[in-house]
Amino acid sequence: MRHPRRPEDVSQRHRDHIKKYGKMPLGLPSDLNRKKPSQLEDRFAKMRLTPSDEIPLPVYTNIKKAVDIMSGPKEASSYLDDLERAEYGIRVATKVYRSYLPPGWKYDRETASSLISGYDKIYTTEDGKKFIMRSLAS
């Protein structure tokens, strides 16, 4: 049979808790009462931070693959299979990086080459995400 808690055990735990957390100044990131932003607020914050002239690098590389396939010979037997595989990669990458894409960004097969023209500067953010930025000259 387990012994019931004794008041001195509870008070000792309470004293240890006060020693550990009682001297912590309020307003630090470890503040437990801080409200976390909702997913929607977080998504809108990311959308505001993403300029319209940059897209994530995986989206760019998948579009580049599709453009390279479309610029090749169309008589090849695997042309449509390769193009569908590349466009599937684009769909997956855009779902993953949806919150990092500019508002209203859309992939279209006919305008794919114009989507990637002018992108040349690659940079990495603090959280490790890679983006490619459109040059100012274009």
How many angstroms separate the Cα of 130 from the Cα of each of 3, 54, 99? Answer: 57, 10, 14
- Is there a domain that residue 96 lies in? yes
- Is there a domain that residue 31 lies in? no
Q: Region 118-135: what's the mean pLDDT? A: 68
Predicted local distance difference test score (pLDDT) of residue 138: 42
Q: Region 103-128: what's the mean pLDDT? A: 76
Tell me which of 39 and 109 has the higher pLDDT.
109
* Whole-model pTM over 0.85: no
- Into how many domains does the chain fold? 1
Please write down the long-range contacts of 125-131, taking CB distance under 8 Å and 24 or more positions apart.
129/56, 129/100, 130/56, 130/57, 130/58, 131/54, 131/55, 131/56, 131/57, 131/100
- Is there a domain that residue 75 lies in? yes
- Is there a domain that residue 83 lies in? yes
- Band the pLDDT of 57: cuts 50, 70, 90: confident
Using the predicted structure, report yes or no on whether residue 68 has a pLDDT greater than 50: yes
- Is there a domain that residue 60 lies in? yes
Q: At what angle do helices 57-71 and 79-96 cross, to 10 degrees?
A: 160
- Is there a domain that residue 92 lies in? yes
- Is there a domain that residue 24 lies in? no
Range of the domain at 101: 49-134
Read off the pLDDT of residues 1-34 as tens digits, 9 standing for 90 and up: 555 555 555 567 667 766 666 655 555 455 555 5
Q: Region 126-134: what's the mean pLDDT? A: 69
- Is there a domain that residue 98 lies in? yes
Distance CA 102, CA 117 (A): 16
Q: Region 46-61: what's the mean pLDDT? A: 69
